Amino acid sequence: MKLKRPLLYDVDQVAQLWDKHPNSIYRDNARGRLPVAPIRVGAVFRWPRAAVNASVGLDPDADPFEPDREYLSRLPASVPAGRRLVHNSVRPVARRGGTRGSRFWLSEPGPALEICDCDWAPELGSHYRVDAASHDSVSSDASGSAAK
């Protein structure tokens, strides 16, 4: 079963889509110059995906950052050939997607993934996590603190 994908972009993502530096996103927002106004989520800004997509000519549901990410609500019987099983940075990783903030998904092999050595789901063989050095929309909230 598929879970709904997150419907908000963070500042790094809109910066990429609008071809701006993240800092200029905050500046332009303060001046009311962004194509789509942000929503405040706690201490950080987020942007509605459908509206941002429309501003750059993408389909409302398109996910240009990970077009192949398929969220799972439960572990698969096996990992399909050519796919990677990936979990987010929440520890411990639950065996049901969404439990305590755990998320996992199937993805295409890519440079942002690194083999994970935690003992989650050993029956499925190797699994992966998002490389901390690459973009991870879950953990990039630190950049939001620059909004002040």
Query: Cα–Cα distances in Å, from 94 out to 20, 64, 89, 129?
Result: 37, 27, 11, 14
Nearest to 90 by CA among 109, 104, 79, 72: 104
Decide: is 116 part of the binding site for Zn ion (CB under 5 A).
Answer: yes
- Residue 11's SS3 state is helix
Decide: is 128 part of the binding site for Zn ion (CB under 5 A).
Answer: no
Stretch that binds Zn ion, among 2-10, 16-24, 94-102, 115-123 (CB under 5 A): 115-123
Identity of the residue, 42 or 125, whose beta carbon is nearer to Zn ion in the bound complex: 125
- Residue pair 35/105 in contact by the 8 Å Cβ criterion: no
- Residue pair 11/45 in contact by the 8 Å Cβ criterion: yes
Instruction: Please report how close the Cβ of residue 119 comes to Zn ion at its closest, in angstroms.
Output: 8
Find the binder of Zn ion among 118, 124, 132, 146 (CB under 5 A).
118
Identity of the residue, 9 or 120, whose beta carbon is nearer to Zn ion in the bound complex: 120
Instruction: Please report how close the Cβ of residue 24 comes to Zn ion at its closest, in angstroms.
Output: 36
Find the binder of Zn ion among 120, 130, 143, 144 (CB under 5 A).
120
Residues composing the chain: 148
Contacting residues toward Zn ion, per CB under 5 A: 116, 118, 120
